[in-house]
Amino acid sequence: MSGARRVVLDASALLAWVLKERGAGTVDQLLSVGVAPASVLVETLHRAAEKGHRLSLQQLHEALLEMGLAVEPVTGDDVVRAAELIAASRQASGKGSLSLGDGLCIAVAERLRLSITGGEQHWETLDLTVSHLPFR
């Protein structure tokens, strides 16, 4: 991964940009310094197509990369950490539950020691080792 990366973006942040939803302007400013785990790119492309985005999956992928977004592979350690985070979120009463994608996104952010931006407010209730910066 080249360049100074400062933030990991989750699928909700990328989808806000792709679909021009509330928070898209904030995400636009983060793309050139942002990282997305490969799993987040899969979710983003799939959900954009589901919502009828006009670009093909390949074109949309290329557009995100042209904006400067870096793609980070998911490692075995990320998989284990994501499972720990998901289990912890499900055990916490009344605090919501992480999705598989969110767990992987947080695990990658922790490994890279970068802040994370996403739309999930209950992330702030978790014991994360990185800062959560809501984009909207």
- For the chain, domains (ranges, CATH) are 7-125 (3.40.50.1010)
Q: What is the DSSP string of 32-101?
A: GGEEEEHHHHHHHHHHHHHTT-SS-HHHHHHHHHHTT-EEEPPPHHHHHHHHHHHHHHHHSTTS----HH
Q: What average pLDDT is seen over the chain?
A: 89
Residue 107 has pLDDT above 50, yes or no: yes
pTM of the predicted structure, to 2 decimals: 0.89
127 contact partners, CB below 8 Å, separation of at least 6: 88
pLDDT at position 121 = 63
Residue 40 and residue 104 in contact, taking contact as beta carbons nearer than 8 Å: yes
Structure tokens belonging to residue 82: 């994501």
Closest by CA position to 98, among listed 77, 68, 114, 118: 118
Residues 6-31 have pLDDT tens digits of: 999 999 999 999 999 999 999 999 99
Structure tokens belonging to residue 88: 């912890």
Residue 17 and residue 135 in contact, taking contact as beta carbons nearer than 8 Å: no
